[in-house]
Amino acid sequence: MSSVTTSPASTVVEPSESARPRAMTTWSTLAKARLSALVVFTTAAGYLVAPSADRGWEQFLGTVGGTALAAASAAILNQFAEIRRDAKMERTRNRPLPAGHVAPALALVVGLLAAYAGVSMVAFFGNLLASAMTLGTIAVYVLLYTPLKPRTTLNTLVGAVTGATPPMIGWAAATGALEPGAWVLGGILFVWQIPHFFALAWLYREDYRRGGFAMLPVLDEQGRITAETVLLTSLLLVPLSLLATMFGVAGWWYAAGSVVLGCWLCLQAWRFWRRRDDSTARAVFVGSIVYLPLLLVLLVIDRGAVTPLAAVRGGFTVETSGSAPLADSPSSLDPRAVERATRPRLDSSPR
């Protein structure tokens, strides 16, 4: 009878190089890294287009980093609550929690810590308004949207609210207030999510049915209501995006680009309405993914131009050396003050 001897060193299992990427992939999947990246992108856009003179890299990076942690926490806590339903769906059964790659208790602790860290960062680098909105977004996503998913198709509207708040959080962090421009950005994100998600839900309607989720494409078996909703909300994006120009958030180049992008997305939605199948639904989904980043890039590049709304309100300034704009001064109501302010320009004019 022979025996095999092994050296002590052979009993020690060294971590392989591939173990680290697997761990990173596991946690990035648990945090829904791609969805969190969209949250970061929209938060950054809201911050950058907000009319604030007091902005710095520390505040910007702190706000964006805090919302990234908040988005990751919401994703982790959502998956913690849906382990059993995710295990029934082909698309989600291999996620870290239903697949057993991460212990549920550990995921819960990490999710709560990420929420605490994210809200605290936004409060420290931004302000209390942005921090309160961040906390409220996590709470609505986890405590309201998640429980509603198997109960009513209205869950999509509740989820769209949480997706609309990131640019508003960025705006609030930059300005300390929620001005009309912030609501316009939130409205665009809210409406955009309807065709985006319904196209995805149509593609995975059987999976959602297995999971017991009450999504509109699951209950609307013929897809008529789903396609109509996708088309109508896509059409609504065109005038809604133009409000950014009307309220001075962006200029005319953005307005032209938003119309082109909106009409292109509407064309995909119209094709889905005409022929309700997976190929046209996928075109809407891909189109929505292309539409939003391009729209926000245009918004950031062409922000803050002169707008028609300002002209309608009669906004104008009279430039004088060492004096404030006439329209902003209380003395502008005094005719003598107007004469003094405009006299240098009148004296230098040809006679």
Structural domains in the chain plus CATH codes: 22-178 (1.10.357.140), 180-306 (1.20.120)
CA 170 – CA 223 distance, rounded (Å) = 36
Residue 33 class from Cβ within 10 Å (0-12 exposed, 13-18 middle, 19+ buried)?
A: middle
Confidence of residue 232 (pLDDT cuts 50, 70, 90): very high
Q: pLDDT at residue 309 above 80?
A: no
How many helices (H) and strands (E) in the chain?
16, 0
pLDDT of residue 221: 85
Residue 152 near residue 214, CB atoms below 8 Å: yes
pLDDT value at 336 more than 70: no
- Please count the other Cβ atoms lying within 10 Å of the Cβ belonging to residue 58: 10
* Backbone angle region of 248, left / alpha / beta, with phi > 0 → left and psi within -120 to 50 → alpha: left
Own/partner contacts of 194-197, CB < 8 Å, gap of 24 or more, are: 194/156, 194/160, 194/229, 194/230, 194/233, 195/229, 195/230, 195/231, 195/233, 195/234, 195/265, 195/269, 195/284, 195/288, 196/284, 196/285, 196/288, 196/289, 196/292, 197/156, 197/159, 197/160
Of 275, 286, 163, 155, nearest to 211 by C-alpha is: 155
**pLDDT tens for each residue of 239-262:** 999 999 999 899 999 999 999 999
**Dist. CA 104–CA 251, nearest whole Å:** 48
pLDDT digits (tens, 9 = 90+) for 114-142: 999 999 999 999 999 999 999 999 999 99
Buried b (16+ CB within 10 A) or exposed e, 172-185: bbbbeebeebbbbb
Write the pLDDT tens digit of every residue in 70-121.
999 999 999 999 999 999 998 888 899 998 899 999 999 999 999 999 999 9
Q: What is the pLDDT of residue 92?
A: 87
Secondary structure class of 3 (helix, strand, coil): coil
How do residues 16-44 score in pLDDT, each as one tens digit? 444 444 778 888 888 888 888 999 999 99
Q: What share of the chain is helix, strand, coil (3-state, %, to 5)?
A: 75, 0, 25
Mean pLDDT of the chain: 82
Please state, as a whole number, how many other Cβ atoms lie within 10 Å of the Cβ of residue 89. 21
| 66 has a pLDDT exceeding 80 | yes
* Angstrom distance (rounded) from CA 290 to CA 348: 53
The sign of the dihedral angle between the CA atoms of 226, 232, 237, 238 is positive
Q: Tell me: pLDDT of 3 over 90.
A: no
Q: What is the CB-side half-sphere exposure of residue 337 using CA atoms within 13 A? A: 13
Distance (Å, whole) CA 58 – CA 64 = 10
pLDDT the model gives residue 53: 59
Instruction: Decide: helix, strand or coil at residue 212.
Output: coil
User: In which residue are the tokens 């989720």 written?
Assistant: 213
Q: Which of 223, 201, 222, 219 is nearest to 91 (CA)?
A: 201
Quick one: CA torsion of 329, 331, 336, 337, rounded to 10 degrees? -30
**What band does 337 get if pLDDT is binned at 50, 70 and 90?**
very low
